[in-house]
Amino acid sequence: MTTEADVIAILARQSGVCADRIGPATEVAALGLDSLGLVETVFALEERFGVSIPFNANTDPGDRDFDLRTVAGIVAGLEALKARPAAA
Amino acid sequence: MRRVVITGAGTVNPLGQTVSETLDALAVGRVAIGPLDLADARLSTRIGAAVRGFDPSDRLSARQMAVADRFSQFALIAAAEAVAAAGPGALPPGAGVILGSAGGGLASSEAAYRAVFAEGAARVHPFTLPRLMANAATSLVSMAHGLRGPSFTLSTACAASNHAIGLAFQMVRSGAAPAMLAGGSEAMLTFGGLKVWEGLRVLSDTGCRPFSADRDGLVMGEGAGVFVLEERDRALARGAPILAEVAGFGMSADAGDIVAPDPEGAAAAIRAALADAGLAPGAVGYINAHGTGTLLNDRSESAAIRAVFGEDAAAIPVSSTKGLHGHLIGAAGAVELLAVILALGQGVIAPSGAGHVRDPDCGLDIVAGRARQASVRAALSNAFAFGGLNAVLALRAA
């Protein structure tokens, strides 16, 4: 599976929105995840890709080091993290 | 109806290991948040509010040291200070103790799990169970002071201390007990304790700035606060020092989300505390907020205060001293009650933290940076727990 397909699968599982209705431009806020759902999504992404995502639930989505606003943003962020030396 | 007053206080917390040290630190707005000694590559949390240089070995017996987890040691030291301050005869037969704690003996649990699961040990220390049980602090305090009345531990996360003090207040007011010790203790700055908060993504790497537009989360602390509550007439008759009157107590449950707070639930608890105390909203001169420094709490709590006080909300000084001593979880309300006593007794409102950037989403009169002088005759202390369990104390000047 591609990174994008994995991300979409995780978002679909967390949100209950059908995967074929989620694409690169889909906004995460539109999927109806609550704050706990977003935290669990980040955890699922970290576990799937073996990375640590910089994410603090207290900062606004636009201010974050890791762009969680869209599927494409998440994919780009993950690719950048995977290109770095492995972190804990 | 009987009136209930506070005649003794004791504490161990990041700002100080006595009440006087703590009041001095609150009055100058000293920040006790700093780098944590706990080094582990798997912890991303680097800051906290630890009780530094805590060595109770000269104040606790060898037996107490052996059976008491750090959270119980905090409670024993704080209780001893409170009982001494209240003077002889403060706790007659029938008096009991109610303490709050969210985690109990976490360090003891972790040490035992590490031994048997990670290190393959065949046995754990025989005192592991009495050290880790959540009621250990209550039991050890009852033993230390011969308290044979109603005594138990309650665990409502970040509201545990306020629930404990509020229930003790109700018991003295109703005549169920002539006096009570009440408060809370917590020692969650352990690897596991930090890890579970890290998992929720609500910890700050930079400091705790309640209600400030640049806040980015909470900072964990540890410690204990314990108070002597007794009937006012009795306290007056024996010439006891009166720190403040506990005037009312309000509780509610959000019945909503397991972590996200609901302003309606918080507002219901505030209204209940005011009604129980017979206080008009306009009489409140200070609100010690729950103010964790998280986006969700501070916005929800601000909305609750505005809902209860309406246009007058912006005229009431509000601070959350978590910006100074961190979030003491199950001990939070107890240590924060000292800031209320400082405001009622000395007319000094402790600040929320060092810096503050006004957040238009909150819209409150936040005391920050430095303490403010004000004549405060009545005050509220808020505590809102994960799980939506709310507990608000209303106090009057002595």
CATH architecture of the domain with range B250-396: 3-Layer(aba) Sandwich (3.40)
Give per-residue pLDDT as tens, B313-361: 999 999 999 999 999 999 999 999 999 999 999 999 999 988 899 999 8
Sheet bearing B286-288, strands edge to edge? B152-154, B96-100, B179-186, B223-231, B4-12, B244-253, B389-396, B378-385, B286-288, B317-319, B365-366
Amino acid letter, residue B67:
V
Task: Determine the residue among B201, B297, B322, B359 to mutate to test chain A binding: the one whose Cβ has the most chain A Cβ atoms within 10 Å.
Answer: B201
pLDDT over threshold 80, residue A85: no
Domains of chain A, by residue range, sit at 3-83
H or E, element range at B47: strand B47-48
**CA–CA separation, A51 vs B328, rounded Å?**
31
Q: Which of B345, B348, B323 is nearest to B245 (CA)?
A: B345
Give per-residue pLDDT as tens, A4-31: 999 999 999 999 999 999 999 999 999 9
Chain A positions in Cβ-Cβ contact with residue B41 (cut-off 8 Å) = 88
Fold of A3-83: 1.10.1200
Low-confidence ranges of chain B (pLDDT < 70): none
Active site residue B163: no
pLDDT over threshold 60, residue A87: no
Chain B positions in Cβ-Cβ contact with residue A42 (cut-off 8 Å) = 201
Predicted complex ipTM: 0.83
**CA–CA separation, B357 vs B196, rounded Å?**
29
Active site residue B290: yes
Q: How many CA atoms lie within 13 A of B105 on its CB side?
A: 24
Catalytic residue among B145, B163, B290, B325: B290
H or E, element range at B28: helix B19-28
Q: Which listed CATH number (1.10.8.60, 3.40.47.10, 3.30.460.10, 3.40.50.2300) goes with B4-237?
A: 3.40.47.10
- CB A56 to CB B296 under 8 A? no
Domains of chain B, by residue range, sit at 4-237, 250-396
